[in-house]
């Protein structure tokens, strides 16, 4: 049997340290599915594991791309499945860890397939965006697929500000004559591994304190300098990220540094709430308090795998 021990939960909850502990116990390797830790230019603001942590177990998909490269969830799915097939040749366990729910789902369930869209449709949508801006894409999606517009408005509102994602939604609606959401959750790829899904949780006040502390640590480690270096490229999709976006506004002269820091903390807390909403819908998840004895989690995994047919 092949098992994918999947660790989910909100930001700053302790997923990294747990993943390393489990990788050491089961003597296996770790696949990261944090959609911002892929980028090598964004080390501090994405809480990339330290060199000491990375040395604790073999990691994959950490800082393996540049912000200047186009990298989609579909690209990640293909690479991750190929890496899993390779790792399962020598071990029945692999760890999957990360706070990006869409990327976790892509590995666990497969990526939704869509019909090919004619180039002329894509060009027209792109031209309309260039002329009318992101609000045009938002209005079009609300008109063509209100269900999906409302879903992402509630669960991941940052997506509404992502031109690449929004253009894709709109071009699928126009090019197929059907709502984008009608193609979701249709024919998923079969997986030849069994997921063992572990969720970490904490009281909201505890979680918020951990987030605030993490932001302070990032700033002490040089987040301001890292953001300043990336500032000339602030329009790139990868940099539409909490922790950078707020500091870019400070560099623009729109906000004070003190206000920007508070905004980072506030927006990270909001992001964590959306993560919880997403992950709480993940089926067959066993939830543990973030401070629980790791032996409890190991015992659960051993029980789970022992009782598989």
**Residues 143 and 92 placed together within one structural domain of the fold:** no
What residues contact 245, with CB distance under 8 A and at least 6 apart? 234, 239, 267
- Both 107 and 214 in one domain: the answer is yes
Cα dihedral across residues 90, 96, 102, 105: positive or negative: positive
Does 165 reside within a domain?
yes
pLDDT at 23: 98
Claim to verify: residue 22 and residue 83 sit in the same structural domain: yes
In a domain, 289, yes or no: yes
Domain hosting 125: range is 119-183
Domain-located, residue 24: yes
pLDDT at 70: 83
Give me the pLDDT at residue 190, please.
Answer: 77
Interatomic CA distance for residues 236 and 231, integer angstroms: 10
Q: How many CA atoms lie within 13 A of 63 on its CB side?
A: 13
**Helix-helix angle 15-26:294-306, to 10 degrees:** 50
Do 241 and 162 belong together in one domain?
no
Identify the pLDDT of residue 17.
Answer: 96
Same domain, 143 and 244: no
216 and 148 assigned to the same domain: no
Binding residues for ATP: 9-16
For 227-238, write each residue's pLDDT tens digit: 999 999 999 989
Q: Any idea what the CATH number is for the domain that residue 283 is in?
A: 3.40.50.300
Q: Binding site: residue ranges?
A: 9-16
Q: How far apart are CA 58 and CA 87, in angstroms?
A: 11
Q: How many helices (H) and strands (E) does the chain have?
A: 13, 6
Does one domain contain both 50 and 135?
Answer: no
Q: If DSSP codes are grouped into helix, strand and coil, which group holds residue 86? A: helix
Residue 188 belongs to a domain:
no
pLDDT of residue 128: 94
Q: What is the structure's pLDDT at 187?
A: 56
Q: DSSP letter for 177, please.
A: S
Binding residues for substrate: 11-16
132/83 same-domain check: no
Domain-ending residue, one of 127, 159, 183: 183
> Quick one: pLDDT at residue 188?
59
The model's pTM: 0.79
Domains: count for the chain? 2
Q: Which residues of the chain have pLDDT under 50?
A: none
30 within some domain: yes
The pLDDT assigned to 184 comes to 82
d(CA 39, CA 283): 29
CA–CA separation, 3 and 254 (whole Å) = 49
8 Å CB contact between 68 and 151: no
pLDDT in tens, 103-116: 999 899 886 677 88
């Amino acid at each position: 049997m092949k098992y994918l021990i999947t660790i989910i939960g909100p930001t700053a909850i302790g997923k990294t340290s747990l993943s390393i502990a489990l990788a050491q116990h089961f003597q296996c390797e770790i696949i990261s599915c944090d959609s911002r830790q892929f980028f090598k230019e964004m080390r501090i603001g994405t809480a990339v594991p330290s060199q000491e942590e990375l040395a604790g177990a073999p990691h994959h998909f950490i800082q393996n791309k540049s912000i200047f490269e186009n990298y989609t969830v579909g690209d990640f799915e293909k690479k991750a499945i190929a890496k899993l097939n390779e790792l399962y040749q020598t071990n029945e366990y692999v760890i999957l860890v990360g706070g990006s729910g869409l990327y976790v789902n892509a590995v666990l369930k497969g990526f939704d397939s869509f019909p090919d869209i004619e180039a002329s449709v894509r060009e027209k949508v792109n031209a309309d965006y260039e002329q009318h801006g992101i609000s045009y894409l938002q209005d079009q999606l609300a008109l063509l697929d209100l269900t999906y517009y409302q879903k992402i408005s509630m669960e991941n509102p940052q997506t509404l500000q992502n031109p690449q994602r929004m253009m894709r939604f709109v071009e699928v609606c126009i090019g197929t004559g059907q709502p984008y959401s009608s193609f979701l959750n249709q024919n998923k790829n079969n997986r030849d591994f069994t997921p063992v899904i572990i969720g970490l949780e904490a009281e909201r006040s505890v979680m918020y304190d951990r987030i605030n502390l993490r932001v302070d640590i990032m700033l002490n480690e040089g987040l301001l300098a890292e953001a300043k270096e990336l500032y000339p490229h602030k329009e790139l999709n990868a940099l539409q990220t909490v922790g950078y976006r707020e500091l870019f506004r400070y560099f623009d002269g729109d906000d004070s540094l003190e206000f920007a820091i508070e905004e980072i903390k506030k927006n990270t807390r909001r992001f964590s709430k959306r993560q919880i909403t997403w992950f709480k819908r993940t089926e067959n998840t066993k939830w543990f308090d973030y401070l629980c004895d790791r032996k409890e989690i190991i015992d659960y995994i051993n029980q789970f795998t022992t009782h598989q047919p």
